[in-house]
Every structure is written in C-alpha cells, then in structure tokens.
Amino acid sequence: MGAYGAPDAAIAGLIVGVPNAVESAIAKEIIPFGAPVFGMVGVENKAYNYHTEIATVSLNADLAADDTLAITVNGTLFDVTFATTHAAAITAMIAEINASTAMDALGISAAAGGAREVIVNGPADLTLVVTSAVTSAGSGTADASVVLSSARKFLGAAAFVQTGGKTWGAGTSAWQIGMSVNIVHDGTLWVPVESTVADKDPAYAVSLGAGTLGKFTDVSTTNYDIGGYFRSNVDNGLAILEVRGLK
C-alpha cells in the first residue's frame, strides 16, 4: 500500500467519480465485488453471475439403424440406440434425461428443438457441461455437436460496499445470497480484468471466449459485448470500466 490517498491498487467494485446510476437486485448466488452481473430474460429483480444454462445438441443427419446417440450432462451419461425411427430415438433421449433423478436434483431438463436437436436447459445459477457423440455400427453418417448459450442479459457491475460477518475471512467478502446487490448500470468503477486491457478499449464480460469468468476483457470473440469501454490501463489486475446501461 502506498501513501495515504495513493494506494498501489484500487478495490474491485469501487465506484469512481460522479454521477453513477445504481440499481439493485437480489443475489441468487454469491457475486464478487466488481463482477459482471446478469439477469434472466423475463425475470425481475434477480441477480446472477454468467453461466451457460442452455445446451443445444445438434445432429448433421438423421440417426440410422445401429446408431447410438450419447449425451453427457454434467457428468451423467445418457445413451440411446436407434430402434425404429430417428424421431423415436430423439424422443427416447429426451425422456431418458427427464427421468433422471440426478438431473432433477440439479434442475436440469431436456426438450425437443428442431428435428435433429435436443435442448438441455439448466437453472440460472448452474453452468452446463455437455458433450455428445454418435457411434455408428451401420451405414449411419450422423455426427453430433454442442452449442452452449445463455438467455441472460447484462445488468451492470457489482459495486463494492464495506461488509463482513463472523464467518467471513479475508478474501471472502462479496455480495452473499439473498442480499440486495448494488449494481452500477451507468457510470464508472474498478473491475477485475484480463491482462490485455488498456485505456479506451471496448469492454466485454468473459462468457464463452478466452478469459476467466467473473472478469472483464477487451477480447470480443464469443465474449459478451456490454457496450462499455475501459477508462484506464490494467493495474494489479484491475481497471476502470465505464458502463453505459443495461444490455
């Protein structure tokens, strides 16, 4: 720590200057100070971290005789062997996932998408980990691919407040489940960032692209465009972020 009034580094979530517009929502999971905050489409006043709660399993061709479709969802394997028709195999896979007590305990379910799709849906506070493959012992040509996505929208960044509790030690202070989170949705604050960040770079929340979840980045590829900009270079893992509204 430097001299009083000139610290070596700021604090994640510390608001910079005025004016700043701050909204609130109830934390449905622990949200670190300075982290990007998201809400679910159609759900009011609930705050989450970023998760990919939707997985779309797609086949590039219909299943054929002697094909086996396998889908692994958060460590649980499901497989269905073609019996009568492609459609029947897809229906059987969906039914198998929905009959699983392990999936039910996690709040995960499956539904049909297109004729060659299985959509796996998880709760808003869980990241889905889904893989899929087709094994063919006959003339089948189907391959499987998985695309992860989310229905959430960026609300802003979590502001820092002085807080604590008897069970919290150093480094554990954050917005706890059930707290009303202060969310800067228009203004500037210090946030945790990737090392590439520089002043005036466009800002993205790390989502599916390169980087660490819970941080902001200047790398656009497959990350979440928040419509804001950085207003400083990175300093000890932090930078000043200008948030320009919900997105």
Model confidence at 103: pLDDT above 70? yes
Phi, psi of 3 (to 5 degrees): -60, 155
- Maximum distance among all alpha carbons in the chain? 76
Q: How many CA atoms lie within 13 A of 161 on its CB side?
A: 15
Q: Which CATH class is domain 54-149?
A: mainly beta
Third-level CATH fold of 21-49+152-244: Virus Head Decoration Protein; Chain: A, (2.40.300)
- List, for residues 25-62, the tens digit of each pLDDT value: 999 999 999 999 999 988 889 999 999 999 999 999 99
- Start-end ranges of CATH 2.40.300.10 in the chain? 21-49+152-244
Q: How far apart are CA 144 and CA 118, in angstroms?
A: 10
- Start-end ranges of CATH 2.60.40 in the chain? 54-149
Residue 9: its pLDDT value, please?
A: 62
Q: How far apart are CA 113 and CA 118, in angstroms?
A: 6
**Its pTM surpasses 0.75:** yes
Find tokens 């269905």 and name the residue: 80
Provide the percentage of residues in the chain whose pLDDT is more than 70. 92
